[in-house]
């Protein structure tokens, strides 16, 4: 019978009560006495030199408090990049300045040029229109390969060219890979694009900066996935405010998907300007601004080659990827196409030799950074597409080809520097074949064909590295921060508990799932436990939420802190019952002495900790509060197998997904309902990438063509089917105390190749010899592919 509380229970998401009744408190709900509003004047050209800015008319407009330009930020730091990538020649990546407001040049449509702080938003907007800016337009570089041609217009004048870095991994394997490919019985080659995406969280970004002269304290309220990271980056690198004088608060946040990890110019601006004008400064992004200022995702152009021997065993994999950085290096832009991508290129397969070359390129487009999956979807798409193409070329069953090459023994050290601790790829594929009813596909195809439709079935596997990340390892790889996390368990006198966690919940359901763990450990009701997150003044520390890390890393810190609580509580209980500490057991919220009928309740012990009249003060301190920091010893490796089944209308090229099945191995699971929801959302985003979403720039002018929902297609409810998801295959993680692996990104990683593989299966079943189709596979693209 399913549990109704604690680990494994599908406890209802308690945070949804406030979200669904309109009682969430988001950053835009924060309004502070004396608040001003900022409107940013943004570049409407992709590339140009600012020859003059005249703000005099704007300054005299009604309600204007102050107008800022790049000049006001001279001598102030730029936005930093958090990861140093070293290229294949041992040289550091190029790190051009990323000013808060443009200095001298604008480098993408939406680049902020000036900011008007006014009494009202309308007055700020009116005044911004009165700012006279002269821009000498320069040729825009949009296409990455053209950006690397000699003579191309340079995004950053002080760099030699538009190449940020040229990374080889594993460089020592390069020759061996070349030889293995040359000597393979069969080589499958595929060129593909991983399309650029706009994250589009439901809540656009907001920042409210506030300065208190009396204690010299700055507070930034912001839509962030990681308030401590923002405090670190903005305080130390941009504004020079020490940690104890800077508080960052991220209250309810309406979705992040990666794009709210990064430190943005608007956050630094509002904090800086609130000190300058001595009043709170608020910025609320419009949806249009989000399209041109939120970091975008993906945008890789790749050539991949898979070598196979005469028995169809994979011999080697060689990849060349051009990764778009956009105009500036966003916070984690450099690690996404490298360490979050190259290390995953083994996939689920025992390919002995792998080499990838990644050229990161500056272009006159919005910066690109991590987006749900970050590097891992790009790796998965390449591997799973090239395997499908190989199967078609060789005339073998694509599932059989995958099974034949599965890694089956764990731990497994890949040729790309990571070691998978556990997994069972055969089990998830078996489960997938069952829930997707692959055996019944032929009959369903026949039925579709009777109705004049083509039917396709696509399968893929995925592996991801989550639980980011072992600090020592990532430090060696160039990370400029540790990637541990922290939790404080504060037990109150009456036994209720507040857990202050470094992870930030913006849709993941931490407020429900985290208490389930503590409730299980202590044997007390979940509703006695609350989670506190999102405020640097309340939580001990935290690196935030991304990379499916919250439970695996921060949850582990919470477990460690709770273990400390239990140890101390046992000492108190032993004292109260005059027993030996070694004999104390904690079960169902009762402390007992083994072999006796003595017991004290959880609440008696916690009360004793705070009213220490009968208490071992000579041995332990009063109070019951413990903190733990947890640094993982390895990544976690969730994996799975996905299947998409769709119908294709050969007259229009329109694809309709009929069935979608996902068999995942997330290790142990705390709340199955939340896990299913995470997978559902991830698949919807993956289907969005595969069929609908396309962030497109004009190749000549760099104008954003898909700048609103009129042209950027988000998946709607009727674009996705009911999903069959299963997470009963569980190989627990071996190195964290919960045995959990993380589930937040799996759906978005595992679904795009299944969709495209299914589209190609449908086309080929209709006699259309199409080898590949780039995402999104829109009706017009599918139709064009059918025309040959």
Binding site for another protein (CB under 8 A): 122, 125, 288, 651-654, 692, 694, 696, 705-706, 709-714, 778-780, 783-784
Q: Which is nearer to another protein, 175 or 651 (CB)?
A: 651
Q: At closest approach, how far in Å is the CB of 366 from another protein? A: 17
Between the alpha carbon of residue 356 and those of residues 105, 169, 180, the distances in Å are: 34, 5, 14
3-state secondary structure 187-206: EEEEEEEECCECCCCCCCCE
Q: Which is nearer to another protein, 8 or 63 (CB)?
A: 63
Q: At closest approach, how far in Å is the CB of 651 from another protein? A: 5
Q: Which is nearer to another protein, 567 or 652 (CB)?
A: 652
Q: Which is nearer to another protein, 85 or 720 (CB)?
A: 720
Q: Which is nearer to another protein, 522 or 782 (CB)?
A: 782
Going 322 to 336 to 283 to 18, the CA torsion angle's sign is: positive
Q: Residues of 237-267 as b/e, b for ≥16 C-beta within 10 angstroms?
A: bbbebeeeebbbbbbbbbbbbbbbbbbbbbb
Q: Residues of 170-209 as b/e, b for ≥16 C-beta within 10 angstroms?
A: beebbebbeebbeebeebbebebebbbbbbbbebbbbbbb
- Closest of 641, 617, 629, 510 to residue 564, by C-alpha: 629
Q: How far apart are CA 370 and CA 295, in angstroms?
A: 8
Q: At closest approach, how far in Å is the CB of 655 from another protein? A: 11
**Which residues have a Cβ under 8 Å from the Cβ of 512 and sit 6 or more positions away?**
11, 12, 13, 14, 15, 526, 671, 674
| SS3 assignment, position 113 | strand
Specify whether the CB–CB gap between 520 and 7 falls below 8 A.
yes
Q: How far apart are CA 567 and CA 578, in angstroms?
A: 16
- Closest of 724, 544, 550, 559 to residue 642, by C-alpha: 724
- Closest of 103, 289, 67, 71 to residue 198, by C-alpha: 289
Q: At closest approach, how far in Å is the CB of 447 from another protein? A: 20
| CA 521 to centroid of chain Cα atoms | 29
Q: At closest approach, how far in Å is the CB of 705 from another protein? A: 6
Structure-block tokens of residue 353: 């030799």
Q: How far apart are CA 682 and CA 689, in angstroms?
A: 11
DSSP letters spanning 265-323: HHHHHHHHHHHHHTS-EEEE--HHHHHHHSPBB--EEEEEEEEE-TTS-EEEEEEEEEE
Q: At closest approach, how far in Å is the CB of 143 from another protein? A: 16
Q: Which is nearer to another protein, 223 or 778 (CB)?
A: 778
Q: Which is nearer to another protein, 17 or 714 (CB)?
A: 714
**Which residues have a Cβ under 8 Å from the Cβ of 712 and sit 6 or more positions away?**
198, 200, 291, 693, 694, 695, 706
Q: Which is nearer to another protein, 498 or 706 (CB)?
A: 706
Q: Which is nearer to another protein, 164 or 655 (CB)?
A: 655
Q: At closest approach, how far in Å is the CB of 724 from another protein? A: 25
Q: At closest approach, how far in Å is the CB of 692 from another protein? A: 6
Phi, psi of 189 (to 5 degrees): -115, 140
Specify whether the CB–CB gap between 688 and 670 falls below 8 A.
no
Q: At closest approach, how far in Å is the CB of 67 from another protein? A: 19
Q: Which is nearer to another protein, 8 or 779 (CB)?
A: 779
Q: How are strands ordered across the β-sheet holding 590-593? A: 584-587, 590-593, 599-601
Q: At closest approach, how far in Å is the CB of 321 from another protein? A: 24
**CA angle 173–177–179, rounded 5-degree value:** 125
Q: Which is nearer to another protein, 588 or 708 (CB)?
A: 708
Report the chain's terminal Cα–Cα distance, integer Å: 55
Q: At closest approach, how far in Å is the CB of 654 from another protein? A: 8
Q: At closest approach, how far in Å is the CB of 759 from another protein? A: 15
Q: How far apart are CA 296 and CA 369, in angstroms?
A: 6
Q: At closest approach, how far in Å is the CB of 58 from another protein? A: 16
Q: Which is nearer to another protein, 588 or 652 (CB)?
A: 652
Q: At closest approach, how far in Å is the CB of 365 from another protein? A: 16
Q: Which is nearer to another protein, 636 or 694 (CB)?
A: 694
Q: Which is nearer to another protein, 303 or 654 (CB)?
A: 654
Half-sphere exposure of residue 550: CA atoms within 13 angstroms, side-chain side: 26
């Amino acid at each position: 019978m399913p549990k109704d509380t604690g680990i494994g229970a599908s406890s209802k998401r308690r945070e949804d009560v406030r979200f669904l009744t309109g009682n969430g408190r988001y950053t835009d709900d924060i309004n502070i006495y004396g608040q001003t509003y900022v409107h940013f004047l943004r570049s409407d050209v992709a590339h140009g030199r600012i020859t003059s800015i005249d703000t005099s008319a704007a300054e005299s407009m009604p309600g204007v408090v102050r107008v800022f330009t790049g000049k006001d930020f001279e001598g102030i730091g730029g936005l930093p990049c958090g990861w140093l990538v070293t290229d294949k020649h041992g040289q550091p990546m190029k790190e051009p300045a990323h000013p808060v407001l443009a200095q001298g040049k604008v480098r993408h449509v939406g680049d902020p040029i000036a900011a008007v702080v006014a009494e009202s938003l309308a007055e700020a907007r009116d005044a911004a229109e009165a700012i006279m800016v002269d821009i000498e337009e320069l040729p825009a570089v949009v296409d990455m390969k053209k950006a690397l041609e000699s003579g191309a217009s340079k995004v950053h004048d002080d760099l030699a060219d538009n190449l940020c870095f040229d990374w080889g991994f594993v460089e020592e394997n390069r020759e061996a890979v070349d030889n293995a490919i040359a000597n393979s019985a069969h080589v499958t080659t595929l060129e593909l694009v991983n399309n650029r995406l706009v994250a589009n969280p439901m809540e656009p970004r907001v920042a409210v900066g506030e300065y208190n002269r009396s204690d010299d304290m700055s507070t930034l309220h912001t839509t962030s996935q990681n308030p401590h990271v923002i405090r670190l980056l903005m305080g130390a690198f941009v504004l020079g405010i020490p940690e104890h004088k800077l508080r960052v608060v991220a209250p309810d946040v309406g979705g992040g998907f990666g794009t709210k990890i990064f430190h943005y110019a608007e956050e630094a601006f509002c904090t800086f300007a609130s000190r300058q004008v001595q009043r709170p400064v608020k910025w609320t992004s419009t949806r249009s601004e989000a399209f041109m200022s939120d970091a975008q995702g993906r945008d890789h152009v790749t050539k991949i080659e898979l070598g196979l021997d005469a028995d169809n065993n994979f011999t080697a994999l060689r990849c060349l990827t051009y990764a778009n950085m956009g105009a500036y290096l966003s916070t984690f832009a450099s690690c996404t196409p490298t360490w979050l991508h190259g290390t995953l290129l083994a996939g689920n397969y025992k390919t002995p030799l792998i080499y990838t070359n990644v050229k990161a390129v500056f272009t006159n487009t919005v910066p690109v950074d991590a987006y749900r999956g970050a590097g891992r979807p790009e790796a998965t798409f390449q591997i799973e597409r090239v395997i499908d193409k190989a199967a078609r070329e060789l005339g073998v069953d694509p599932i059989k080809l995958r099974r034949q090459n599965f890694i089956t023994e764990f731990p497994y050290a890949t040729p790309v520097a990571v070691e998978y601790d556990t997994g069972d790829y055969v089990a998830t594929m078996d489960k997938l074949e069952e829930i997707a009813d692959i055996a019944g596909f032929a009959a369903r195809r026949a039925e579709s064909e009777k109705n004049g439709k083509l039917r396709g079935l696509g399968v893929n596997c995925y592996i991801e590295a989550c639980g980011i990340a072992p600090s020592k390892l990532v430090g060696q790889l160039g990370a400029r921060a540790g990637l541990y996390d922290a939790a404080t368990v504060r037990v109150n006198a009456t036994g209720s508990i507040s857990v202050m966690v470094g992870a930030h919940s913006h849709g993941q359901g931490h407020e429900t799932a985290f208490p389930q763990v503590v409730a299980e450990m202590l044997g007390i009701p979940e509703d006695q436990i609350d989670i506190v997150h999102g405020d640097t003044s309340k939580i001990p520390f935290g690196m935030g939420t991304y990379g499916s890390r919250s439970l695996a890393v921060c949850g582990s810190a919470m477990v460690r802190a709770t273990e400390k609580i239990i140890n101390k509580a046992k000492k108190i209980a032993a004292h109260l019952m005059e027993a030996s500490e070694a004999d104390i057991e904690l079960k169902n919220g009762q402390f007992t002495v083994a072999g006796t009928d003595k017991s004290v309740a959880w609440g008696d012990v916690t009360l004793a900790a705070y009213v220490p009249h009968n208490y071992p003060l000579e041995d332990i301190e009063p109070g019951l509060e413990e903190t733990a920091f947890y640094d993982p010893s390895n990544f976690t490796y969730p994996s799975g197998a996905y299947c998409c089944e769709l119908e294709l209308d050969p007259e229009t090229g329109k694809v309709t997904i009929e069935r979608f099945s996902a068999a995942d191995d997330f290790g142990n699971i705390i709340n199955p309902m939340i896990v299913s929801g995470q997978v559902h959302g991830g698949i919807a985003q993956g289907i969005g990438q595969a069929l609908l979403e396309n962030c497109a720039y004009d190749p000549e002018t760099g104008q954003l063509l898909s700048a609103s929902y009129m042209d950027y297609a988000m998946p709607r409810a009727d674009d996705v089917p009911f999903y069959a998801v299963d997470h009963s295959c569980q190989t627990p993680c071996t190195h964290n105390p919960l045995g959990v692996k993380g589930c937040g990104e799996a759906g978005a990683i595992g679904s795009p190749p299944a969709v495209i593989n299914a589209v190609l299966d449908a086309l080929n079943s209709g006699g259309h010899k199409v080898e590949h189709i780039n995402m999104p596979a829109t009706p017009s693209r599918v139709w064009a592919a059918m025309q040959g």
